Amino acid sequence: MEGDTPFADLFKESMIFANREVLSPHYIPQHLLFRDRQIAEIEKALTPSLRGERGRNLFVYGKTGTGKTSCMKTVIERIKALPVIRAKISYVNCRIYNSRYRALSKIASDHMPIYAKRGYGIVDIYEKMISWIEEDGKVLIVVLDEIDIVRDLDDLIYTLTRANSDIKSGGITLVGISNKVSFKEDLDPRSLSTLYENELVFPPYNSSELASIVKERALKGFREGVVDQAAVNLSAAIAAKESGDARLALKIISKAGELAEAKNMNVVTIGDVEAASKFAEEEIAYEMIGTLPEHQKLVVYAIALMSINGSRYKKLNEGNESFILSGEIYSRYSSIAESLQKDVKGARLYRKYIADLEMQGIIVSYESGKGIRGHTRLIKLSYHPEKIKALIERSLFREEGEQQNNVAGTAAPN
Ligand SMILES: Nc1ncnc2c1ncn2[C@@H]1O[C@H](COP(=O)(O)OP(=O)(O)O)[C@@H](O)[C@H]1O
Ligand SMILES: [Mg+2]
């Protein structure tokens, strides 16, 4: 298929795409459909802070792809466009800044560029942040997106709340955003009462809403006549059935475009959309696995290893599918955690991890009937164990390396 000229494809104009950027999950459209109420609610919650009063904290949650990040960013842009106000704002993507130290450094460096450099201790950062706020009684709005990923979240929330009692004039208003609907149950009661002063839920989109979202985006992202209504509707219907996730719907249609392009076609067919939906789901699952909290990642890692070296473990064959016994996964997880010198989490927490992983579609499980060692849970990965193994090894290795460079920042303010 490839021609002889190196990079020939690079300069070839696409017959499918008019603007790929518009189809990327990071693109934020000018106007967000069906979210006027949520945007108004966020603005209402932040209005006191914009007036220079410390407002009530806000907690926003809803499944992935329900528009939380886009709505928040839209509001942030509007705030930044306001004429002089005392409020400052920091948006923290906790997938990247996933610890108290990293989040605080990010907040500090947003407003005091010197803190973009590494190596400042947390006490120093904390104190500078406080005196910067007190200088002229600022109100700092801190948006923590995907807050559930922060490893030492209770510490982070505690530090930011504590700051409010240390600050003599001005203050900090918190906005927490989570994709995990059950997140409330995991929080320390103190953090919970801090965050839940106000709450806002983003419901999943239904199929017709998703179709409108996809259609609007396809109009800009694809060349004229490439995508018809049937292709739009199908990608919306698949995503609605899965989860009501706009990101999935958009990923399906753009992946379908890539498949059509690879075949040198100039239309996207229903068949392309069907094929794309399989890829898109998988891609999203891998992204999710890469950013799981550490111990859940280790559990998935244990399952992946056991699925690969199947013969050494007792898998139970149900038709063509092999399942692994939950208890054996727990022992394998424990020995992996030990060998990495991590505290092994108890069996109760482990069962919660399993339930969470299943809810995210990363594993499937079922309770066996009587017979096999009484009742036991049988578990299987939903995606390729080899790919998952490689992915987790990459991400674990990266984080270990970073932590070692970070010792300077581990002292806690007290
Ligand atoms: N109401 C909407 N109108 C248009 N596009 C949307 C809407 N909601 C979500 N999207 C698109 O779907 C994708 C995922 O949205 P995002 O805000 O990241 O969701 P969340 O933060 O809830 O996971 C983004 O590409 C976004 O532009
Ligand atoms: Mg988001």
Confidence tier at 37 by pLDDT (50, 70, 90): very high
The whole-number average pLDDT for the span 285-313 is: 86
Is the beta carbon of 67 within 6 A of some atom in ligand 1?
A: yes
The whole-number average pLDDT for the span 48-64 is: 90
| pTM for this entry | 0.82
Q: pLDDT per residue over 331-364, tens digit each?
A: 999 999 999 999 999 999 999 999 989 988 899 9
The residue among 157, 133, 361, 159 whose CA lies nearest residue 248 is 361
Q: pLDDT per residue over 271-294, tens digit each?
A: 999 999 989 888 888 888 988 888
**330 three-class SS:** helix
- Between the CA of 179 and the centroid of ligand 2 the distance, in Å, is 7
Two tokens at 74? 């839209």
**Mean pLDDT for the chain?**
88
- The CA-atom distances, in angstroms, between 133 and each of 78, 101, 137, 163, 241 are 22, 19, 6, 10, 47
| H-helix or E-strand spanning residue 172 | strand 171-178
C-alpha–C-alpha distance, residues 59 and 57, integer Å: 7
Is the beta carbon of 243 within 6 A of some atom in ligand 1?
A: no
Of residues 355 and 413, more confidence is placed in 355
C-alpha–C-alpha distance, residues 227 and 107, integer Å: 42
C-alpha–C-alpha distance, residues 200 and 340, integer Å: 39
Highest mean pLDDT among 10-19, 184-193, 381-390 belongs to 381-390
* Domains of the chain from N-terminus onward: 8-22+205-289 (1.10.8.60), 36-201 (3.40.50.300), 294-404 (1.10.10.10)
Of residues 395 and 199, more confidence is placed in 199
- Between the CA of 254 and the centroid of ligand 2 the distance, in Å, is 19
The whole-number average pLDDT for the span 316-342 is: 86
Using CB atoms within 10 Å of the CB of residue 324, give its burial: 0 to 12 exposed, 13 to 18 middle, 19+ buried.
buried
Q: How far is CA 204 from the centre of its chain?
A: 16
pLDDT for the residue 196:
83
Is the beta carbon of 288 within 6 A of some atom in ligand 1?
A: no
Mention every residue, 6+ apart, whose C-beta is less than 8 A from residue 27: 21, 217
Out of 139-143, 314-318, 406-410, least confident range:
406-410
Closest atom of ligand 1 to CA, residue 35: 1
DSSP 89-106: EEEEETTTS-SHHHHHHH
The residue among 296, 359, 361, 360 whose CA lies nearest residue 329 is 296
The whole-number average pLDDT for the span 314-340 is: 83
Closest atom of ligand 1 to CA, residue 202: 22
| H-helix or E-strand spanning residue 34 | none
pLDDT for the residue 408:
38
- Between the CA of 57 and the centroid of ligand 2 the distance, in Å, is 18
The whole-number average pLDDT for the span 297-322 is: 77
